[in-house]
Amino acid sequence: MQRLSALFDFTTLSLLATVALAAFLPCRGEAAVVFDWISIAAIALLFFLHGARLSREAIIAGLTHWRLHLLVLACTFVAFPLLGLGIQALAPAGLLTAELVIGILFLCALPSTVQSSIAFTSIARGNVAAAVCSASISNLLGVFLTPLLVSILLATHGGMPLNLAAIMKIVLELFLPFVAGHLSRPLLGCWVERHRQLLAITDRGTVLLVVYIAFSASVVEGLWQLLPLSALAALLGITATMLAIALGGTTWLSRRLGFNREDEIAIVFCASKKSLASGVPMAKILFAGNPALGLIVLPVLLYHQIQLMACAVIAQRHARRAPVPARIA
């Protein structure tokens, strides 16, 4: 638990340091163009490694739990968007800026996270095979569903027509590297398993790079000066409430539908999470050229940090309550 907490502390501090760096030393001009190309290569490498790590055995083992996967996908791509629309309708006028509202709706359209969903399910002694399969399916479908949902959810904000070019770019930069990585697993699978730390470093490094580029653009345009502190505080409260609803709702649904303890753990951790590793690159493509990109991804960053801290506590609590296997005399 101490190592897990240390990792989250490092992740949080790294994100804060990246935002501070963008505030005082933003990339601009030719440097921004260079950083943009580097981020494209880093994103492709990240999804290539994710594909190489996913074993076919885990997919086959997990696919037998089709009811579990349907529930996770329904929560991720149906319940969450409805929750976002509810927040938009109930939030008092002027509580949040337009960019933050767009960011919340974008957050609700994102797929589940992969690494932390699997890690927390494992710590809590849940159904790891189902978590691997469910989180991976969510991310693959998110390549196509997230742009569609974003275009629907943003209809009340002047509309965002479904951009086929953006979808193709997401497919090229995220989906194809993932497929290529999975196809190369017979050659690279063992090496990737031995160097899991490389995937973790690539994951964090890619996210930090894209966050730096996004926040730099907002700083250069002077948009951060227009963000009231009250709006930031309200956003923090809203994202925490969203997570509480997601955790409580998925727990209640999994029990009502008769899932066992191990499946319930996988459902809760997969269906309540949103992917920072997929969300930030997608935002970079879907909102390309938007100087408010840094503000749009802010809800994703906050939700990510809150979900890590809350789920670390929940996973450890499940681990303590897990039945201890009987010893054979």
Kindly list the structural domains of the chain, giving each domain's residue range(s) and its CATH number in brackets, ordered by start. 2-320 (1.20.1530.20)
Res 64: pLDDT: 75
User: What average pLDDT does the segment 263-290 reach?
Assistant: 88
Per-residue pLDDT of 227-241, as tens digits, reads 788 888 999 999 999
Three state DSSP letters for the chain: CHHHHHHHHHHHHHHHHHHHHHHHCCCCCHHHHHHHHHHHHHHHHHHHHHHHHCCHHHHHHHHCCHHHHHHHHHHHHHHHHHHHHHHHHHCCCCCCCHHHHHHHHHHHCCCCCCHHHHHHHHHCCCCHHHHHHHHHHHHHHHHHHHHHHHHHHHHHHCCCCCCHHHHHHHHHHHHHHHHHHHHCHHHHHHHHHHCHHHHHHHHHHHHHHHHHHHHHHHHHCCHHHHCCHHHHHHHHHHHHHHHHHHHHHHHHHHHHCCCCHHHHHHHHHHHCCCCHHHHHHHHHHHCCCCCCHHHHCHHHHHHHHHHHHHHHHHHHHHHHHCCCCCCCC
Total-model pTM: 0.79
Q: What value does the mean pLDDT of the chain take?
A: 82
Which of these ranges, 77-86, 266-275, 289-298, has the smallest mean pLDDT? 289-298
User: What average pLDDT does the segment 74-93 reach?
Assistant: 93
Res 323: pLDDT: 64
Q: How confident is the model at residue 9 (pLDDT cuts 50, 70, 90)?
A: low
